[in-house]
Chain A
Amino acid sequence: MANQSFAKSVMKKTTLGVIIGVLLVIGAKFTHFPPVFQIMFFLYAMLGALVFILLDAPAMKRLEGVKAVGALVVFYLLLSGLYIAGASILPQFDPEDEKGKIEKVLKLRRAQTEQGKADELIARAKELDERAKAISKQLSSLGADVKVEVASTTSSSGSGAASGDLVALGKDQWELQECYNCHKLYGQGGKKRGPEMDNIGNLMTAEQLKEKIIDPKSWKAEGFDKDYEKGKMPDKYKDLMFPQEIDALVAFLVSLKDESVKTPKPIKMN
């Protein structure tokens, strides 16, 4: 009898959960929530239904001995599966996106360590050895009268380093130091923590920008008094960036001269 009544209760609450879920989905659709949020709202309605089903569930029978141990093992497996599945369903950050970036950020620092110097020497020795072998092979197979083509060695840092394009290197630094987390540029990034930067090249000189990066308290932007007081811009770049990296970033920032964007006026502080 109790079981029948509970079964009815389950049916009733599940139906109610589905109705509320569908209503939430319709409401979310009309108010421009993307489908993923609509699904989420539906799932919340079903979670609510499950909670109310559990509230009125009849008392569970006592389990003893092997049955109790078995139930515990199954319970643990279920929980483990649920948590792993839950974590796996959510969008996953791809570490590959970060690895290249970390390599670039730490390249100069690694080179300064004893291990870094040793690694570089070993790499260069290997490279020379391979070139010598290639030359030797070509000479022996084609004779002495041969034009030996040796592949030019390029820096693995790539993007502009060899070409000396300071602005391109500065753009790299913008990405690597994650300036976009606080500053909007080209309409992207920024969480309103810092000013939009598209026209900063018309408002500040290279020296002033460098001063701001090294000592964030030296300048503030109009309308960002609160963030300035809280010291929101990290005072760490003088420690984290090499002088040539700061110069590159400054060169990039100076090149930003889009007058159609209202970059706030910089104010010199003491």
Chain B
Amino acid sequence: MKTLNRSLWIILAMGLSGVATAFGQVPDAPPVDFPYSGNRTAVWVVAQLHILFAAFILGAPIFAVVAEWLGFKNNDPKYDRLAKEVIKVTVILYSMTALTGGLFIFVLLGTYPDFSTWLIKHFFIVFAVIYPLLFILETIILYTYFYSWDSMKGSKKGRHIALGILLNIVGTVTLFVIDGPTSFMNTPAKAAGDLSLVEFIQTASLWDKMANFSWMPLNLHRLVGNVTFGGFIAGLIAAYMFMGSKTDEERSYYDWMGFVGNMIGVGALLLLPFMGYLLAYELCDYDASICPYMMADQLSMFFEMQGAMIGLIFLASNYYIWLSLKRIQGVEQVRISGFVAVVVLFMPAIMGFTWKMFPPPEWQSLIVLGVLVVLPVILSKIPGLKNFTVSAFTMIKIGFLMIVVADAIWMTPHGFVPTQGLATEEVELPSWAGELALMPAKNAAAFTLVFLTVVNYLLYNRAIKRGTIVWGKIDFASQFVLIFLAFSAIWTMGLMGAVRSLTRKYYHVYNLVPDFTPEAFTPTLAYSAWWITGVTIAFYAVVSFAILVTLKAGSPKPATSLASSVPVEAK
């Protein structure tokens, strides 16, 4: 395995340093033509595959180091095993990240040679020096982190965790660095003074180009997205292993791992809608014409699909909590203030109205939000109102009802048309209900989904404190829910990645470098869905294979005694 990885790195390094030179010597080489898919789709597919692997190798170490730290802090070896298993899969997929990265560069240079060389020249230090160095440094740290796992135990564990933290710092810096050129393509630095954009970019510093409008929002969005992704893939690993487990001990361990993976995935997912909102806000702030293109015109139905996907992901993650809760003995006695249920029922209406009155970034809406969150806690302390409680199951069922309502609000468009220019009364919301299609309503729906998920986790936490959880005895359907979450999260990443790229419209670099090829148009949602599904399946196949090779077939059983480390019944 080491030899394979080294070979891949050498190939990648040679590719990175040699390709630009080779093309520089043959400037007139015509672009290649990809059969069937066309050039743009070929680049799209390879880039998306690379991003998925990269997201995993950046997200999984965050997940792993947190798990390792929890294991160290609580002296619980199962966290340590979880962290090591996730890193094992990461090491395999690291090679795939390098491979698809190299492939991406080759395909890009072959299909868009002029633009590729233009971009490389503008970010030469990044592509030729900083990024490769960071990648090499990350590789060294990742391999040291993995191969020193067993030797750095006991008193050395703290240092091993520090190594994991260093790995994540380098990984995050790598992400931020490569996000520079990516975000530059969406929102190139704006011209200052009387200079035209072309003149300004020719003389702009590297920092001016890196620190563009959408750079930090994209960094944050991807960082949180990667943690979500890492959590859901950990859930996927657990589901596969649970399904293939032969003993109760194995099942209880992988049941627990699935729960932890889902919890971290969902925990980060809660922040994701707001990070996405921030990115969209900055894109619209950069150029107001991007907004209608995304939300009302060519890409409006992509957002409709996104609404459906996010709704399904929230439904599934809460369904997993429900299935987890059902196997807790004594859960029937767990109750919560009825005011929480009342607040949940009115939340979309109240927050929708509030955000209409005080749209972001106005701060007044935060006061209303704070009051709504704190109110049930205060009311439940008042004598006489204390006894107004509902059972955990009733609360979660009310929650599911409101998740469906919130999904409905999120998915209600202004009109069922591919562009607003084609809107007629037959497909448009009646004027009195127009607010349903606007951002305040969407924000209210997103906040309701997040709030309900938090409430469900609080209930779960209360249930495991008061009842007895039996690991390994979860409904088998829950494993399909974990698989569903990973698959849907990847699909949604593909969809939204396509949206971010398409907001450049018919430009390689928005408003700066036009794309003169015949493929510079907005593809249909159906066409995009086929390719996104294909990429998701390809990624899934590789990840499934990596899990099977590393965990199921490739390694001996851990030396730690599961009987002592994993409680079959634990409070």
Contacts and interface: CB of A to CB of B under 8 A. Distances in A.
B315 A191 contact: no
B198 A76 contact: no
Interface residues of B, number: 75
A222 interface: no
Nearest to A89: B526
Contacts of A61: 476
A61 B477 CA distance: 8
A132 interface: no
Interface of B, secondary structure class, is helix
Given A75-B483, A90-B305, A181-B292, A68 B244 contact: yes
A49 B162 CA distance: 49
Interface in A91-109: 91-95, 97-99, 102, 105-106, 109
Contacts of A94: 418, 524
Interface stretch (B127-135, B152-160, B529-537): B529-537
Interface string A169-205: 0000000001011100000010101000000000000
B296 A98 contact: no
A52 interface: yes
A98 B298 CA distance: 9
Interface stretch (A227-235, A245-253, A255-263): A227-235
Contact of B305 (A47, A86, A182): A86
A110 interface: yes
Q: What size tier do the contact residues of chain A reach?
A: 35 or more
B480 A98 contact: no
Given A34-B425, A193-B288, A76 B404 contact: no
B514 interface: yes
B1 interface: no
B432 A31 contact: yes
Contacts of A79: 484, 487-488
Given A95-B523, A191-B292, A84 B516 contact: no
Interface stretch (A36-44, A135-143, A145-153): A36-44
Contacts of A225: none
Interface string A50-79: 011011010111111000100110011001
Contacts of B477: 57, 59-60
B483 to A, nearest CB: 7
Nearest to B480: A75
Interface string B188-205: 001100001110000000
Contact of A47 (B191, B404, B518, B537): B404
B298 A93 contact: yes
A230 B418 CA distance: 28
A164 to B, nearest CB: 26
Contacts of A84: 526, 529-530, 533
B551 interface: no
B315 A51 contact: yes
A76 B412 contact: no
Interface stretch (A4-12, A123-131, A154-162, A236-244): A236-244
Nearest to B285: A230
Given A115-B516, A236-B511, A63 B476 contact: yes
Contact of B196 (A41, A57, A178, A239): A239
Interface of A, secondary structure class, is helix
A90 B304 contact: yes
Nearest to B309: A83
A270 interface: no
A147 B339 CA distance: 94
A98 B521 contact: yes
A83 B491 contact: yes
B85 interface: no
Contacts of A71: 480
A68 B430 CA distance: 49
A55 B196 contact: no
A98 B522 contact: yes
Nearest to A45: B404
A88 interface: yes
Contacts of A113: 516
B190 A234 contact: no
A99 B288 CA distance: 22
Nearest to B477: A60
Contacts of B511: 236, 239-240
A52 B425 contact: no
Contact of A106 (B197, B289, B298, B506): B506
Given A76-B537, A95-B522, A181 B416 contact: no
B214 to A, nearest CB: 15
29 contacts: A31-B433, A34-B425, A36-B427, A37-B412, A47-B404, A47-B407, A48-B401, A52-B397, A55-B319, A55-B397, A55-B400, A63-B476, A64-B243, A76-B487, A76-B540, A91-B301, A91-B416, A92-B301, A93-B301, A93-B522, A95-B523, A98-B298, A98-B522, A99-B521, A106-B516, A178-B289, A189-B421, A230-B285, A239-B196
In order of increasing CB-CB distance, the 8 nearest A-B pairs are A87-B529, A93-B418, A88-B526, A60-B477, A32-B430, A60-B476, A181-B292, A239-B197
Given A72-B483, A93-B298, 10 more contacts: A35-B426, A36-B427, A83-B491, A86-B305, A87-B528, A88-B529, A92-B301, A102-B506, A102-B520, A232-B288
